[in-house]
Structure 1
């Protein structure tokens, strides 16, 4: 299944609209403006919050916590940085670790578990500048989780770039 993410539809809240491959509205990334730490929510079309993401403050390494129904779902951290590729590690609450690697700022990266490709993020399928796709490779993959991870690592990489 492929999802189309349209970045920053509203500048103030830093929102993103997500459609499925048939063009139907599937999710909204609701950026929370005017907060001291980076926070956003993934909502379904009815406005229900599916996942909340909060920047972890006062930690040694930059990280963001993903929560579902008030309980921690995962933590996203930078794994390592090289000149060509960004790497992030997503640690799920059950201990499973997902590897996110590629050119994050270019919207060209993958999400894998133990070497197996689970999702591919790419801008090359689209002409529009602020649009990229998240293709889920396995049917049993949780779309809300993987879309949130994609948005999260992009925001973390952009924040690092802004910080210099």
Structure 2
């Protein structure tokens, strides 16, 4: 389980991802004034282990996750989803993931083939403005954390767009 504060970041904010014992396991660097809404995920020594950035030209919000310099997934918002927002996490090969639930309140699940492989919830913690990211055994934590960051970037972008209209 990983612990993250409720509002990950505004563009440019940095923050740490903690394990359930409160130990820093990752640092997230929100690149200031990045046109591509890029964030870099670093290990405790400061080495880049993953990154998330927005595709500039796409029909729907699309974010690419790289892990170790290699493309690991694209996170795309589904176009028509009544009642709940849904995102597809398109990984190379046949094992795509689906992310759905109450995304604004950060209460949602990530599934692969109908099996839950990750979840985000505030219910598991008593700390205010903090929630947990649960990752199933055998699933790459950076893929799940990167997907959660991509979702947050997409939601922040939509909020900003709504404010500007």
The answer, yes or no, to whether TM exceeds 0.5 is yes
The separation in 2 between residues aligned to 1:10 and 1:146, in whole angstroms, is 17
Is the 1:84–1:103 contact (alpha carbons within 8 Å) kept by the matching residues of 2?
A: no
Q: Which runs of 5+ in 1 are unaligned?
A: none
Question: What CA RMSD, in Å, does the superposition of the two structures yield over aligned residues?
Answer: 2.0
**TM alignment of 1:1-164, pairs within 5 A:** 2-6=1-5, 13-80=12-79, 82=81, 84-136=83-135, 138-164=136-162
How big is each residue's C-alpha offset from its partner over 1:91-135, in whole Å with a ceiling of 9 and x where there is no partner? 012242100001111010100001100011012233444321101
Q: How many residues are matched? A: 162
The separation in 2 between residues aligned to 1:59 and 1:11, in whole angstroms, is 22
Name the one with the larger strand percent: 1
Is the 2:60–2:79 contact (alpha carbons within 8 Å) kept by the matching residues of 1?
A: no
Tell me by how many angstroms 1:6 deviates: 2.4
State the TM-score, normalizing by the size of structure 1: 0.88
Is the 1:7–1:15 contact (alpha carbons within 8 Å) kept by the matching residues of 2?
A: no
Is the 2:41–2:49 contact (alpha carbons within 8 Å) kept by the matching residues of 1?
A: yes
SS at match of 1:105: coil
The separation in 2 between residues aligned to 1:25 and 1:48, in whole angstroms, is 14
How big is each residue's C-alpha offset from its partner over 1:32-91, in whole Å with a ceiling of 9 and x where there is no partner? 011112000111111111111111001122101111233211100001454632100000
The separation in 2 between residues aligned to 1:33 and 1:87, in whole angstroms, is 28
The separation in 2 between residues aligned to 1:44 and 1:30, in whole angstroms, is 11
Is the 1:74–1:90 contact (alpha carbons within 8 Å) kept by the matching residues of 2?
A: yes
State the TM-score, normalizing by the size of structure 2: 0.88
Residues 156 and 110 (structure 1), Cα distance of their counterparts in 2 relative to 1, 3 Å cut: same
